[in-house]
Amino acid sequence: MLVVYHSQSGASAKLAAAGMEGALEHCPDARFSRSVDVGAPEIVASTGVLLVCAENSGRLAGGMKDLLDRTFYPMIGHRCSLPYALLISAGNDGRGAVAEAQRILRGIPFTEALEPLIIRGVPDQAALLKAREFGAGFAAGLEMGIF
C-alpha cells in the first residue's frame, strides 16, 4: 500500500500522516511519500493507493494533479488497475477536487475502494481520527482482498 500526499499549508500532510498511522495497523509494509517523489514505478509496485491532498480554488491541488498527469499514460501502458481511496483537505467544499480526481483515476482505470473523505477546515483531533480510521479501513480492505 502506498500513501501519497501533497501539502502546501501542512494540513494535508497531517491528514496523510494520520492515515498512514491507521494503515500501518493492517499493512506494516505501507509506504509514505510526497507526490513529487512518486512516479508510475512506485504506484505499480503497490497493492493500493491512498491519495491525500488539498482542494485549491475548488480544484485538485496542483501537486496531486501533477502526479496524476505524470503517471496517467505510463499507468495505462502498465495496464495497472489498482484500488484507491481519496482524502481531501478542503477550506470550503472539496467536491470539485474529488470530481476532478475521480475523472482522471477512472481513465487509468483505477477502482474507487471507499467513498472519498473530505475534511473541511483546519484538521483538529476529530479530523485526524477520521483520517486514521480511513487509512486503517482502506488497508484492512486491501489486506482482506475486498478491494
pLDDT tens track for 46-78: 999 999 999 998 899 999 999 999 999 998 887
CA distance 19 to 57: 24
pTM given for the model = 0.95
CA distance 123 to 121: 6
pLDDT tens track for 95-123: 999 999 999 999 999 999 999 999 999 99
Looking at this protein, which amino acid is placed at residue 41?
Answer: P
Please give the CATH superfamily to which domain 2-142 belongs: Flavodoxin domain (3.40.50.360)
Q: Which residues on adjacent β-strands are paired with residue 2? A: 31, 49
